[in-house]
Amino acid sequence: MPQLFVSFVALPGRTLGDAMDDGTRFLDNVSCDGTVAQMLDSVLLAVRRNMRTAAVIRGSGREDRYDYPVEVIRELVVNALLHRDYSPGARGTQVQVELYPDRLVVKSPGGLYGSVVPSQLGVEEVSSTRNATLARLLAEIPDAEDMPVSENRGSGLPRVMTRLRRAGMSPPTFDAAPGHVHVTVPQHALLDPPTVEWIQGLPATALTDEQHIALALMRNTGAVSNEMLRAWGIESHAATSALRGLVDQGLALKSGGRRYASYELVEAAERQMTLRPPSAPMPEPVVTGRRARIDRELQAVVEAVRAGHTTVKAVSQQLGLDYTTTTRRINQLLEAGRIEATAAPHTRGRSFVVREPASPRSST
């Protein structure tokens, strides 16, 4: 029989065959069929109930934050349904959504179509579909929220990248072969549900998205700078405004001059001041300034790579560092084991990934 549906599984381990001690192989297992709009609604319901959640208060309203932004999952599933191969030879395979403790994977049967190449995915707005009639129909059919299922303007994957970056999440990876396209979204996120809950408990009002990311960076790395926020796609003036606002609300303390300013959570900064003996000499200002600048640049490079700027050129352009300085900082991070290279030096297409500590997903 044709497998023209979407399957969803929530898995207890990091590979498809892993089982729990009692033999359980699936935490949830759902087949979503019906119309495209119905399949989309069913798979989103299934994913939601298997993700952790935290509430963000926006004015008089409430917004639920999940392990993965629901808009991202929606775009990936719609993209898979729209662009999958519906020819007789591919009807034995369904669109698959797999939720692991450390990643979300959306699998679509059929490779890339037309002139689209893997390097364009998520970077350029490209539109080439093997299912033109379906694309026109989905632009007219409403989903459960009375919005068109698909716009089919090539903006879906770039929108995914933007939404992930706004949520403080790493970009997806793409595995495109003649018979399939697999999209993997790592779970690592600055704004995961526990962090969102922590932010909601702070004595602050009307925090912006930029300030949420700044607070998460301060909590996770100890300090934040304008450069680190730029790594996550925040414009320099918006980063400065967000950080100044956190200082004004009494949440952050600024250290260093205008050029080398960094910001810490008030509680962390006050703790450091308490631990310093009153008679302890101050470090040499020149050395401190240089060391602080290097440390900020190193951390900014880490955040740039984590945010999807994975080559020397991309990091240099995103942070406004010159190419030589960027190369030096990347080499320092490689030596320290904080990032890894995907290929040997001087190899075409060499990129970098952040070495993230494993953090198993916990249930709500």
Q: What is the CATH number of the domain that holds 139?
A: 3.30.565.60
Which residues, including other chains, have CB under 8 Å from residue 349's CB and lie 6 or more apart? 342, 343
Q: Report the pLDDT value the prediction gives residue 361, as an integer from 0 to 100.
A: 47
Which residues, including other chains, have CB under 8 Å from residue 110's CB and lie 6 or more apart? 83, 84, 85, 87, 90, 130, 179, 180, 181
- Backbone φ and ψ of 31, nearest 5°: -105, 120
- 39-43, 174-178, 240-244, 315-319: least confidently modelled range: 174-178
Pairing of strands 95-99, 6-10: parallel
pTM: 0.70
* Residue 194 within any structural domain of the chain: no
Q: Report the pLDDT value the prediction gives residue 282, as an integer from 0 to 100.
A: 45
Which residues, including other chains, have CB under 8 Å from residue 215's CB and lie 6 or more apart? 199, 202, 207, 246, 251, 265
* Residue 1 within any structural domain of the chain: no
* Residue after which a domain boundary falls, among 278, 310, 335: 278
Residue 74 CA to residue 41 CA, distance in Å, equals: 9
CA distances from 183 to 17, 107, 355 (A): 19, 7, 20
Beta partners for residue 29, in sequence order: 9
Domain count, the chain: 3
DSSP state of 360: -
Same domain, 257 and 214: yes
Q: What is the CATH number of the domain that holds 350?
A: 1.10.10.10
pLDDT tens digit sequence for 251-287 = 999 987 766 788 999 875 454 444 445 455 544 444 4
Same domain, 161 and 306: no
Number of alpha helices (DSSP H) and beta strands (DSSP E) in the chain: 12, 12
Residue 302 CA to residue 354 CA, distance in Å, equals: 7
Same domain, 73 and 104: yes
Residue 130 CA to residue 83 CA, distance in Å, equals: 6
Identify the CA nearest to 69 among candidates 198, 234, 185: 185
* Residue after which a domain boundary falls, among 186, 210, 243: 186
Same domain, 222 and 334: no
Q: Distance between terminal CA atoms of the chain?
A: 37
Same domain, 82 and 169: yes
Q: Over range 329-344, report the average pLDDT.
A: 93
Same domain, 174 and 226: no
Same domain, 66 and 154: yes
* Residue 195 within any structural domain of the chain: no
* Residue after which a domain boundary falls, among 260, 278, 296: 278
* Residue numbers of the domain that contains 305: 282-364
* Residue 192 within any structural domain of the chain: no
Take residue 353 and report the two structure tokens written for it: 């990934």
Same domain, 96 and 170: yes
Same domain, 163 and 18: yes
Take residue 51 and report the two structure tokens written for it: 């993700």
* Residue 357 within any structural domain of the chain: yes
Average pLDDT over the chain, rounded to an integer: 82
